Structure 1
Amino acid sequence: MKLPPLKSLPVFEAVARLNSFSQAARELAITQSAVSHQIKQLESYLGEPLFLRSGRHLQLTEEGRQYQEAVTSVLLELEKASERLLGQEKSSLRLSVYSSFAVRWLVPRLPYLQRRHPQLDLALEMSSENPVLSERVADCFITIQKTSAAFDYELLYEEQLFPVVSRDYWHRMQRELQLDSDEVRLSTADLIRYPLLSTHSIYQRTAGDWQAWFAVTGEPLPSGARLQHFSHMLLALEAARFHQGIALTNDYMLSNQKDSGDFVRLPCHAVATGDHFYFAWKQARRREAAIQLLRRWLVSQAITSGLRSG
């Protein structure tokens, strides 16, 4: 069996992860010259440069990036196999998750996970965009894109948007629109009398969320509509909380009791965005108890909170 210099692999992993020779040296408790020697030895064995060096700037080459993926996976598997034999297996996972999903749905539920499964140590990695499905980023993911055939996916939620306002704002609308009953259905003409709070990040274009919502009725977004623009749904929803207009939001943003009390869902139609939220994990790690425990817990919570049907 022809193997690379094994002592150099943890050094390479640390340098690639930290993007620094000096930080890797501190983490490994060795000298920086020892780190440099191990990297040179590995590059000499492979016959390929693993890093591009420009002054103090360090960057993985394409070959280095591919090698990092393989080395990280191997070292993780070796660590877990050793822990199993020693009877010291840790149930620690890194979960990459979108910021809004984490803040409004997942984090409020973590105390239940900790009480029910105290052996699971879950670290959250915040993602504002679609994460790269790689063990360099996290062990598992909540993502809307099934981009890698090397991963398995479990559906948690099919997103739909619906209009909401603060409770005080709803009372104002009832007075001004002379609504006699909470069961009345609002028309698009009713809504455009008020400011529409728009989130750019949903459709990646200005007013894309409201354009999609009006399109369900076969109508274009009126040119005279008063729009207030926000980069993220969290910002638009907070503006609605403080009585600034009507925001489009989704189910997980209003999934805790406080938010359900602060906001009123207007009696109007909803629009499906086409985004599907999945829990994703690498197929090679599908037998890991911690990943399957987290998968089952997330699915049960999605069903309980109404994101996913039973």
Structure 2
Amino acid sequence: MKLSKRFPLNALRVFEAAARLGSFTRAGEELGMTQTAVSYQIKLLEETTGEPLFLRRPRQILLTEAGEQLAPKVAEAFAMLQDAVASISGDAETTLHIHSTPTFASQWLAQHIGTFQLKHPKIAVRLATSGSIIDFAREPSDIAIRAGRGTWPGLRAHLLMKMHFTPMLSPALAATIGGVHEPTDLLKLRIIDAGDPWWVQWFQEAGVPDPGLQGRPRSRLGAQSFEASAAIAGQGVAVLTPEFYADDLASGRLIQPFDLLSTDGSDYWIAYPENRRHTPRIRAFRDWILGEFGMPLD
């Protein structure tokens, strides 16, 4: 690519927004520009680089190979500029946007985040939760805490904790059948979310190859933490991650009738864009949470 001596900073800003949002219209709305002005700035940048950066299609724009190459570098450059200005502006508050699974947020993060805020009083925290995997290019998040195998293109990921699962229920419910002594005893009770593949795997590893769950109602409560609440209330048996419910086990609100812990290969990770790895607020949270779990910074 040939770059002119006049550096097209405005055009690069427009390009970053259009590439991130996937739309000239949405880029214009974010930047307070008309779609015509956005198109002009993109055309100016394409003339400057000597390469087409977008494929224009009806109701859709797609990055070309050159655009794909340029977009992450431009995003990183603007992130560095933003952080540099923030570091010397004297602004006392920086906002850290965290996206988490609902269960991790309620069972761990909400109970520990105060420690982080005491350590970093100038960083305000905004937490959003959902079971979906967030797209950093389109959502205003700095960090995600997600379940998986830790391999996401363009993201730096650090292991937080191994994820196990095993059946858990209230002692009162177990008493209705004289206690749970064998894995098959669980089948005498209501299974919360019988369609969860964790159930089949756990039963198979417990020596029950066909637990016959196919005919049972497949209710879904939306998050493991809700299933745990139902189990505590005696509404059935839930397959849960015991690390999240240590207090409930210690208090007797839940019991774990078997020592067998299963895993499907997914664990909990903290992830953030590779090009934002030097952002101070991201580094501060990363270092804190890895320390809380006793995990190294790899």
TM-score (norm: length of structure 1): 0.74
Mapped pair 1:69 → 2:60: no
1:35 paired with 2:38, answer yes
1:250 and 2:241 correspond: yes
Alignment of 1:227-306 (within 5 A): 227-231=216-220, 232-234=222-224, 235-251=226-242, 253-254=244-245, 263-269=253-259, 270-282=261-273, 285-302=276-293
> 1:267 corresponds to which letter in structure 2?
P
Q: Is the 8 A contact 1:195 1:225 kept in 2?
A: no
In 2, the alpha carbon distance for the partners of 1:76 and 1:224 equals: 50
Aligned residues: CA RMSD: 3.6
What residue in structure 2 maps to residue 219 of structure 1?
208
Q: Which runs of 5+ in 2 are unaligned?
A: none
Residue 156 of structure 2 corresponds to residue 156 of structure 1: no
Alignment partners' CA distance in 1, 2:106 and 2:278:
29
- The 3-state SS of whatever aligns with 1:218 is coil
Number of equivalences? 286
Q: 1: CA distance between counterparts of 2:156 and 2:35? A: 40
> Aligned partners of 1:93, 1:135: CA distance in 2, in Å?
16
Structure 2 SS opposite 1:197: coil
Q: Which amino acid aligns with 1:220?
A: P
Kindly state the Cα deviation for residue 162 of structure 1 after the two structures are TM-superposed: 1.7
Measured after TM superposition, the shift of residue 135 of structure 1 is 5.6
Within the candidate set 3, 6, 11, 1:8 is matched to 11
Q: CA deviation at 1:242?
A: 4.3
Identify the match of residue 193 of structure 1 among 185, 188, 207.
Answer: 188
Aligned partner letter, 1:266: Q
Q: CA deviation at 1:249?
A: 0.8
Cα distance in 2 for partners of 1:252, 1:51 equals 48
Structure 1 residue 287, shift from structure 2 partner: 4.5
Identity in percent:
26
Greater alpha carbon shift after TM alignment, 185-194 vs 281-290? 281-290
TM-fit CA distance, 1:173: 2.4
Contact (CA 8 Å) 1:94, 1:124: kept in 2 or not?
yes
TM alignment of 1:89-238, pairs within 5 A = 91-131=94-134, 137=139, 138-143=141-146, 144-148=148-152, 151-166=155-170, 170-177=171-178, 179=179, 186-198=181-193, 206-223=195-212, 227-231=216-220, 232-234=222-224, 235-238=226-229
- How many angstroms apart in 1 are the aligned matches of 2:111 and 2:197? 29
Say which of 51, 60, 75 aligns to 1:58: 60
5+ residue gaps, structure 1: 180-184, 200-205
Question: TM-score if structure 2 supplies the norm length?
Answer: 0.77
